[in-house]
Chain A
Amino acid sequence: MARRVSSLCKATQWSILKNFVSGPVTVVYSQQLYHTQRKLLTASTSRLPFFTCYRYQHQQSRDSDESDDNDVPRVQRMKEHESILRDVIARGEPLSKDEWNKVKQEVFNLNSFVNAENIDAIIMGLCIGEKQFAVGSSLLDSLRESGISPNTATLARFLKLCYDCKAGDEESVLEICNEIRNRCPVLDASTADNVIHGLALTSRWQEGLELLSEIRLSAVPISASFNVLAEAAFKNGELKLGWELMEQMLQLERRPTPPVYKAWIDQCMRTKGSEASVMIGQLLDFWADHDLRPSLDVAEHLRSWFEHDKYSWEGCFTTISPRGSCQNCRTVLRKRKITTAEFEAMRKEFFEQVIVGSNVFLKSNPEELETFQQFLSRTAPYDVVIDGLNIAYSSGRLRPQQAVKALESVVQHFATRKKRMLVLGRRHMQNWPQKEMNYIHEHAFVFLAQNLSQDDPFLLYAAMYSGPFTQFVSRDLMRSHVYLLKDSSLRRIFRRWQQQRQLQLIRAISGHVTIMPPLSYNPSVQQGPGAVWHVPYDTEFKVQPKQMFEPPRHWLCLREASQCS
């Protein structure tokens, strides 16, 4: 078995052998080793016969306190202590001091990395996972009874437990917060985050803001800190502060969680009069501006507000047809316009950051850029810009004869519709079959970049240079180019422009050309004519939703009941 296994890579070898052996492993390797020692011997031993074997004792896992007989890997042993503790905690009963000592002794006897220093915090962490407040507070009581003062990590985690279970009276929570802050003049990121959770339960939640700025000294705050404070702000009536926190969060690429939105909607429910509709409008505009989507429970909450007895609105979960009409109210959704200022800003940034970037030689060279810009100034504007190589190789890596036919059929498709075209490609396309290339040259402008340059940035820049109404044909999703734009607002504008102007090629074989037109509507929160709102939502909350290239499938349609037929 060793010889057969030896031909696989090291990781696969170990995973196979792990299933068969439980003790220390002696692995016999053949000559192709890649341990460092081997490299130094390479020159001298390259003349040795092929079947020289070296024996290596596999190194044990690196835990400090294990004895030699305990050869079980660390991950397995971690689960043992966890299973013991989880059993105790899941029962949900508070334990006395002696019972805790017994459980701790049991865990210490496992001889794992868990020792007197870290067991308390580990237990508290498991209580958070199981959401057992009573067990956690009994642990703290037992420590106090024994005269041991709990360490900072345990106290901080207890605060988080209080917040998650919404339990714990204000006095004791504040006492713990004071103790932590007295022990440590400066807090690190995770402790500060836990203290913010604790303070949010009390009336002194505003001290959390100072802590937030303190976290920034050493790390980027996690989204929980912002969310907890924003929710507390909304609950306590500090509305402007809450919105500021949400904006800050978005700057750092963090997203607000459902409880924050629900707190805002609850606040709207409490206010009377037309104020409330303005506030709801603020939330919907926020979602529209930042291309955010609520989750299902927030959408439900929103719908219940709209269907409040005072208002005669009606909410309904629906879908949008491919043409953009709502199945419920039959209004057609509209596109979101990109203003000239936004477009100009995006074009300028694109040229500076994507095409030139840190070094212009990475994607192209200065002479070529110069030539390209002169070419554009001579021949722009265009109706369509075509990514030649992407289209040509759309059915796989074909030979030039077939590739050029695909490109020719696409050019023909647009030529029959009398469009002004630009085709981008690379210098080696000059060697492609002449007949088809002549046809392309007759019906379109052609720019061939150097063989070593990347042609995608040229495509996008040509389309942007030509104007906001120029479309471009490519199957590429342009993800890497978007990422190079540093500003998140510019990225959103780019995505919007791409959604409206990119024609996706589906098939271009032997004369049949199928092109998918761009989405005719803006796939995010929008207000329709009259009193109608359409809100797309996700079925569950995702921390970082993937870039959606398909239109959302679930929508909430809200409209005034007097309008429905």
Chain B
Amino acid sequence: MNSAVRAGFLFRRLHRCVFRQIERRVLALPLLNFHTLLIQRDCHASVGNLEITDIPDIKDLTQGDPTLEKKLKVIILEMDIWRQEGERVPTQLKPADWKELISLESRSARKKYLLFIWKKEMTKSNEKRKKELKRIDREKLDIPVRDRDAYGLGGNTIFMRIRESTMTNYLNGKLIEAMQFGQELVVDCGYDQYMTRREAKNCAKQLMLLFSDNRMHINPFNLYFCNARKESESIKEFGKLLCIPFEPHFPLNITEKSYLDLFPKQNLVYLTPHCREELLHYDHNAVYIIGAMVDKVHNEPLSLARAKEQGLKMAKLPLDRYLSWGSGSGKSLTLNQMIMILLDLKLSGDWSKALKHVPSRKIMKVYQVDSSAKQFKLNKSKDEKSSPKDFYNQLLLKKMKK
């Protein structure tokens, strides 16, 4: 594997596994297991298998409120009934899952949430099973076990080993340099009250990807996460994904303050898709603001309303000007796509290079019939990456027409 790809995989480990605490998995149903049920053919699963006292941290969940306790009993019964009807309901729930289940208002929301937990459970058990089978197959083949970190070719390689910590230190150093000399970029995290829990989790993941994309780039921004309250769902989840973002040595500025307190107002430009002016010329002295919101549920122009209220300049990306938009998925871009566009724009000043980070599924593709060969040829829109061969062919065609 070449070093760049390896760096990517290592980053994945860094963000996900290296510093993460392993949560204690608590069994809610100690004995009930699908496999044992299959064996005991004439058993009957009576209702109330799970008692309310079996749930850990029950006091924290209900806080002694009798209506909440009653609701919890109803929810447990509901789960049992769904299981008896053959619906997809998980067998084990963590304390955080119970908390979220109580807070959901409607039956259909609870059903969807339980389906989500069931899917996670099944994926895990399937992976485990496959791993077991693979292990058995490998034992049969009798391959010698290699040390995970050893290189091939007898343990030799001409490349110098680059360790994770070296890469981390190098990239953090670039971030520190950006904090001293680079341009600032503000991410406005104050939209938590408009997002559902699922959206908040998606937002946290996008924030993590935004941070990592920024760090990996040759010319990073000095990132500020403003209006980031530690109690908000998205920031809490973000803290779980990167375990050390709130420590002072971490190269990221997370504050509860607003960007109005940190930067002079005339430099601020809010990037919102609901306004009319396009951002045609990138200003290296301006402080651009991106709203950290996943708006699958709330479709209102919230960022526009905020910018209007605070009297800030607004701009939107010139997507219509440079790209022919296709019919697949709307014009919303994720946070990491946004920051890649801005990073490349800052570097090159060229919109066609920057907008390459818009996913190609959103852009219209034109299929052309080549009448001579009677084949379908894929002809991409002119702003997309075209291979040198296509470009040369088009040049030839133009010359022949003349």
Contact = CB atoms under 8 A, between A and B. Distances in A.
B216 A44 contact: yes
A149 B44 contact: yes
A419 B325 CA distance: 44
A361 B73 CA distance: 44
A44 B8 contact: yes
A186 B66 CA distance: 13
Query: Secondary structure at chain A's binding surface: helix, strand, loop or mixed?
Result: loop
B5 A65 contact: no
B71 A218 contact: yes
Interface string A141-157: 00000101111111011
Contacts of A120: 84
A187 B53 CA distance: 18
A294 B357 CA distance: 55
A339 interface: no
Contacts of B42: 116, 146, 148
B209 A39 contact: yes
A190 interface: yes
A116 B42 CA distance: 7
Q: Which of B12, B38, B306, B340 has the most CB of A within 10 A?
A: B38
Contacts of A43: 212-213, 216-217, 340
Contacts of B46: 149, 151-152, 183
B11 A217 contact: no
Interface residues of A, number: 64
Given A151-B45, A188-B74, A362-B301, A9 B328 contact: yes
A186 B77 contact: yes
B44 A219 contact: no
A264 B74 CA distance: 34
B112 interface: no
B103 to A, nearest CB: 13
Contacts of A152: 46-47, 80-81, 84
Given A7-B378, A115-B37, A149-B44, A186 B73 contact: yes
B359 interface: yes
Given A42-B340, A50-B387, A359-B305, A191 B81 contact: yes
User: Contact residue range for chain B?
Assistant: 35 or more
Contacts of A16: none
B309 A65 contact: no
A218 B122 contact: no
B119 interface: yes
B131 interface: no
A119 B84 CA distance: 8
Interface stretch (A56-64, A236-244, A312-320, A542-550): A56-64
A217 B77 contact: no
A113 interface: yes
B71 A217 contact: yes
A210 to B, nearest CB: 14
A40 B86 contact: no
B67 A217 contact: yes
Q: Which of A37, A40, A125, A189 has the most CB of B within 10 A?
A: A40
A32 interface: yes
A365 to B, nearest CB: 6
A219 B306 CA distance: 35
A50 B47 CA distance: 58
Given A7-B365, A43-B217, A218-B71, A114 B86 contact: yes
Nearest to A118: B86
Contacts of B4: 44-45, 47-48
Given A44-B216, A50-B385, A153 B44 contact: no
A98 interface: no
Nearest to B334: A39
Contacts of B274: 452
Given A50-B385, A115-B34, A122 B85 contact: yes
B194 to A, nearest CB: 10
**6 tightest A-B contacts by CB?**
A41-B8, A361-B305, A43-B216, A62-B122, A153-B84, A118-B86
Given A116-B38, A151-B45, A361-B305, 14 more contacts: A42-B340, A43-B217, A47-B4, A62-B119, A64-B122, A64-B126, A65-B34, A116-B43, A150-B44, A187-B77, A190-B78, A191-B77, A218-B75, A361-B309
25 contacts: A9-B328, A32-B361, A41-B8, A43-B340, A44-B8, A45-B4, A64-B34, A116-B43, A117-B45, A122-B86, A148-B42, A157-B85, A185-B73, A189-B107, A190-B78, A190-B81, A191-B77, A191-B81, A218-B75, A359-B302, A362-B300, A362-B301, A362-B302, A362-B305, A452-B275
Interface of B: 4-5, 7-9, 11-12, 15, 34, 37-38, 40-48, 67, 70-71, 73-75, 77-78, 80-81, 83-86, 88, 106-107, 119, 122-123, 125-126, 133, 205, 209, 212-213, 216-217, 274-276, 300-302, 304-306, 308-309, 328, 336, 340, 357, 359-361, 365, 376, 378, 385, 387
